[in-house]
């Protein structure tokens, strides 16, 4: 499994637009992609409602997890870019 820890930099947190983008990216991958929070919640990224239920806020730390497969590292980079800290 490959994992990427990200601090949420989106001011509004994981609201509808970034979560929809995460789901779209996850759907392009052939294996499940999970997101988990520091409080222990987790969800499959293709389920927009499940991710929204995690109530991920700006400044929260989340971990994306995907099976080690072709394109997995690139996918993690793209997912981190959607929610990651802005510089």
User: Which among 15, 6, 4, 9 is positioned nearest to 59, based on CA atoms?
Assistant: 9
CATH code (residue 68): 3.30.1340.10
The domain total for the chain is 1
**Whether pLDDT at 3 is above 80:** yes
Residue 50: is its pLDDT beyond 60?
yes
Tell the burial category of 8 from Cβ atoms under 10 Å away from its Cβ (0-12, 13-18, 19+).
buried
Residues 38/3, Cβ–Cβ less than 8 Å: no
Range of the domain at 55: 2-83
Q: What is the pLDDT of residues 59-84, one digit of tens each?
A: 999 999 999 989 999 999 999 999 98
């Amino acid at each position: 499994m490959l994992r990427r820890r990200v601090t949420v930099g989106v001011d509004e947190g994981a609201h509808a637009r970034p979560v929809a983008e995460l789901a779209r990216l996850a759907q392009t991958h052939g294996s499940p992609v999970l997101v988990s929070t520091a409080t222990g919640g987790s969800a499959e990224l293709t389920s927009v409602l499940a991710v929204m239920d995690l109530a991920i806020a700006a400044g929260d730390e989340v971990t994306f997890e995907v099976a080690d497969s072709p394109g997995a590292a690139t996918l993690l980079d793209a997912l981190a870019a959607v929610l990651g800290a802005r510089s």
